[in-house]
Chains A and B, each alone.
Chain A
Amino acid sequence: MFRIALKGLLARKLRLFTTSLAVLLGVAFMAGTLVLTDTIGRTFDSIFAEATAGTDAVVRGKSAISLDFGTQRARVPATIVDTVRGVDGVADAEGLVEGYAQIVGRDGKAVGDPGQGAPTFGRNWLTVPALNPFRLVEGDPPAADDEVVLDRFTAGEAGVGIGDTATVLVEKGPQRVRVVGIATFGDADGSGGPTHVMWTGAAAQRLVGEPGSYDSVAAVADPGVSQEALRDRLAAAVPGDTEVITGEELTEENQSIVRKALGFFSTFLLTFAIVALLVGSFMIHNTFTIIVAQRGREMALMRAVGASRRQVLTGVLMEAVAVGLLASVLGMFAGIGIAAGLKGVLAGFGIDIPAGGIVFTAKTAVMSLIAGLGVSVASAYFPARRASKVPPVAAMRDLAFEHTGGSRRRTIVGATITAIGALLLFNGLFGDAGNALANVGAGAVVIFFGVAVLGPVFARPVSRLIGAPLPRLRGVTGRLARENAMRNPKRTASTAAALMIGVGLVGFITIFAASAKTSINESIDKAFTGDFVVDSGTFGFGGLSPELAASLKKLPEVRAAAGFRMGQAKIDGGTRYLGAVDPEEFGQIIDLDIAEGSFEDLRGDTFAVDTATARDQKWKVGTEVPAQFAHTGDKTLRLAAIYRRVDAGGQYLLPLETYAANFGQQFDARVFVSRAEGVTPEAARKAVEAVTAAYPNATLQDQTEFKEAQSAQINQMLGLIYVMLALAIVIAFLGIMNTLALSIFERTRELGLLRAVGMTRRQLRSAVRWEAVIIALFGTLLGLVVGLFFGWSLVQALKDSGIHKLTVPTGQLLFIVLIGALAGVAAAALPGRRAARLDVLKAITTE
């Protein structure tokens, strides 16, 4: 049996290849993701190991808030350094300062993009060599307040060298510095992305930290003192609001933070790999269904001459195993190339990550094998089982082709599966399910399966409808194309179903993005009564110095300038993102549409929330809620106001003074500006521009530009997702190609007859092309229907989060339909050529 199966395979090399390709692409994407994330992981591991290589113990603040990635903690007083130095077993110790500092390059632009890319650090130049991961290779360490050392990477990016002066943006505003030294990170030019500006300890404290305190204190042990021993001795000596960990623990902690971030990143990419594999499995299933139908007679003959069902089943599955093995092994190696490609694509979208060398782990190999083999064999199993059930007597009969599309049973089963999927989806979106995302994902997959089961019910009528203009446009060629697309609804449907998945997701994301844009634009229109926004482009690390808002406020052309700060704190037990504003200034520019309470009451230890949050948490104006800040510990906040426009202010708002008192760093993510009465927008802009010019990390936008910038951000994400989903669509078109090729093979005699009675090659190609277009359009339309449903569901679920208006971008969706049709044309090219090249005489005389 094995030899027969193998022989069959080699006789059909081309099909083996195209079928394998469908799975191979998915496996390659998966392997590529794993290789990329492993490589990035290893790169970061070594960066962090290098950074803390000489550190034996670290003393730091105990008060901390765990954030999504990393921890925010309180600083320690500078006096602790002396305490630490005095502990027995400590060879030396030094305080560390680290904060935001962005150097301005020679071209006047800020170097780096902490909003999207690597952070831009300001720190103190460590004088204890064992603690300093940087090595001075040129010049001197900083001695004066305005002297800095740069790592070679940062110096190169900024285009400055020793002796040059440069501007550095910090919390206290732009600073002039003089470069006195160039350092390397270990032996490398930089630390893989971030920029570093290193001052003297005092200057660093003043500019990027807090005078009189350090972020942490690092210690080097005496020879013979273990890290653990040092930690324990230090722990006994330092104040109770600090904690001590070993250098190794710190390294591991840093590495695990990156691991966690990488985990999200990897999951994001793997989602697309899974989509690709899912589409591939549809194609494998379809291909095997067709093969089995075409070889039904051969299999019946095998049964007649004594092959058992099991042997027939094994025979078919052998082909699936071969397909899977080929796909796994080739996909694994292609994954290495994909990893580089992915890195390039991500870099193109502004996500530049350091990755040196290629890390190919056993896990990648095993997962590739499991995915490739698993998908192939599982998808081929049911067709194979059907084949094994062929009665031996069928060898003597003509095989009846299956023309049936929708049976009652199919309709009921398909509708039920779809409904279950919808329930899962809704449960994830609206319910209190433990893992909402898993529910949504599972729901989406089940819906795809349900619609795929329903597909044959629609295939015939929808194909008829899509193909309706064809007979008039293309005469008998068009008529034949339409009939061919309709003749085997199951085949048409399952071929289209593969495409449906990719298009469904593309349609969904397009609709969702359009809805988000409309909602954002609308809320900007409604809420933003000011004239300009000065945007930093970052929400987490760094931002605009509060000096900027202060300077703007002083301008006679400006009526109000409101900085918007962001941070995280624990409120009523949960870590929340919050914004902070000066209610007086902010209230003049942004209309939050207060529902209860008063915005003027937002003073002192108070906060405001949007109506949905207040409802969910059952808070009323006046409710007192426990809060915890990393820097200052436990506080109690009173709810002062409830507002309707969540998209303008976020879910939680603090008064600026409260933020300033409880956060270690003060940066405005944005500054909203409105001009004074009687000042023209042009004059106001000129005045504002004169101030922002000193802040190269600031972008000045008027309302229209602000909206455009918001849309551009969405478009960028949209673009990235499109690129990632392109693979699923490519696989689906391979599926159309495969189906057409198999159908053409099956119709050899018919095609021969057509050619004999006078169909030209061009007409034949056209017929194949239009058949492909019908199938592609059917898949595209199914996908758009599903996508529309997903989009609608998500918009419903996010009503409270500011995306309140479902927008169906007709133009874009029509464009998707057009692309679908064109891709159908492309998919038909090869099979059509093959059909046209058919030897007429051979075709009409084949059995």
Chain B
Amino acid sequence: MRRGGTTIDATATPGTTTTSAAARAVGASKVYGHGDTQVTALHDVTVDFERGRFTAIMGPSGSGKSTLMHCLAGLDDLSAGKVYVGDVDLTTLDERRLTTLRRDKIGFVFQAFNLIPTLSALENITLPAALAGREPDRAWLDTVIATVGLGDRLTHRPSELSGGQQQRVAVARALAGRPDIVFADEPTGNLDSRSGAEILSFARQAVDDLGQTIVMVTHDPGAAAYADRVVFLADGRIVDELADPTAERVLDRMKSLEG
């Protein structure tokens, strides 16, 4: 169930390598500051994230994993190199186009503070569509809501929801617009283990049943084990990769990286 064969693996289709990735970074570098205080967060990173797959990015703190995700998601800009979402080179977009790209092509799940407190759960879920002035796809919305199991909570405000329920709303929002890719930044970091497991199962389900592409930054090997593939970062470089991870194998790799 976790790694169902129904996923559409674009890499399997020959001759379409440029469009096969939902997102990719090519020679991506990110430098903060100038002169003596200069810090290199990303160092010539090239990586693809295939469609329909669930990828985890791992690494010790300061490894650049969040920076990579922020750059891939159009929240931060690169010092050198390129990042693509689909065929679109993010480095060529102005601020307005980046915003609409985030709205229409990307879904987000953050660690905390994912929801607008003044809007109901349903309004939060349909927020990107509302910002675009579009009616949400009703049937798809129902599917997503059913998947995350929020049916009776839709009219509640975030303050009336538990942490786990809030993250489920966030996941539903990320999926509701059928984005090309969903970026999740430590989505279970603030949750107890049961709620965390729930969220990760939904993510898995979204990939398996709905064909969604998900990239998740995490430092939790248990969470990474839900992914199809784990990319390891250290000192701003990709240092390792693991397919079909389990928590133990991820932990081993992490230990070797930190050791």
Residues of A within 8 A of B (CB): 475-477, 479-480, 483-484, 486-487, 749-750, 753-761, 763, 840-841, 844
Contact = CB atoms under 8 A, between A and B. Distances in A.
15 contacts: A475-B133, A476-B123, A476-B131, A486-B118, A753-B115, A755-B99, A757-B102, A757-B131, A758-B103, A758-B104, A758-B128, A760-B96, A761-B96, A761-B99, A841-B76
B110 A753 contact: yes
B131 A759 contact: yes
B127 A757 contact: yes
Contacts of A477: 131
B226 interface: no
B99 A476 contact: no
Interface string B13-43: 0000000000000000000000000000000
Contacts of B149: none
B108 interface: yes
Given A476-B131, A758-B99, A759-B99, 10 more contacts: A475-B131, A483-B119, A756-B75, A756-B110, A758-B100, A758-B103, A758-B128, A758-B132, A760-B131, A844-B113
A750 B113 contact: yes
Contact of B116 (A486, A750, A761, A763): A750
Contacts, number: 71
A761 to B, nearest CB: 7
B201 interface: no
B130 interface: yes
Nearest to B107: A757
A111 to B, nearest CB: 65
A113 B6 CA distance: 96
Contacts of A484: 118
Given A753-B110, A761-B95, A480 B132 contact: no
A499 B50 CA distance: 57
B168 interface: no
Nearest to B118: A483
A757 B173 contact: yes
B114 interface: yes
Contact of B131 (A758, A761, A840, A844): A758
A841 B96 contact: no
Contacts of B62: none
B234 to A, nearest CB: 21
Given A480-B116, A483-B118, A754-B116, A760 B128 contact: no
B151 interface: no
Interface residues of B, number: 28
Q: Sorted from nearest, which 10 A-B pairs have the closest CB atoms?
A: A758-B103, A483-B118, A476-B130, A841-B75, A758-B128, A760-B99, A758-B102, A749-B113, A758-B131, A841-B76
A175 to B, nearest CB: 78
A757 B108 contact: yes
A477 B130 CA distance: 9
Contacts of A750: 113, 116-117
Interface of B: 70, 73, 75-76, 95-96, 99-100, 102-104, 108, 110, 113-119, 123, 127-128, 130-133, 173
A759 B102 CA distance: 9
Contact of A475 (B70, B73, B108, B130): B130
Contact of A479 (B100, B115, B119): B119
Nearest to A752: B113
Contacts of B114: 753
B108 A756 contact: yes
A477 B116 CA distance: 12
A750 B127 CA distance: 13
Contacts of A475: 130-131, 133
A354 B128 CA distance: 65
Contacts of A758: 99-100, 102-104, 128, 131-132
A844 B66 CA distance: 12
A119 to B, nearest CB: 65
B111 to A, nearest CB: 10
Contacts of B173: 757
A757 B96 CA distance: 13
A416 to B, nearest CB: 33
Contacts of B118: 480, 483-484, 486-487
A755 B102 CA distance: 9
B204 to A, nearest CB: 22
Contact of B100 (A486, A753, A760, A844): A760
A753 B113 contact: yes
B131 A841 contact: no
A476 B127 contact: yes
B258 to A, nearest CB: 24
Contacts of B99: 755, 758-761
B130 to A, nearest CB: 4
B66 to A, nearest CB: 9
A750 B124 CA distance: 12
Which one of B73, B116, B127, B128 has the greatest number of beta carbons of chain A within 10 Å?
B116
A756 B102 contact: yes
Contacts of A476: 119, 123, 127, 130-131
B116 A840 contact: no
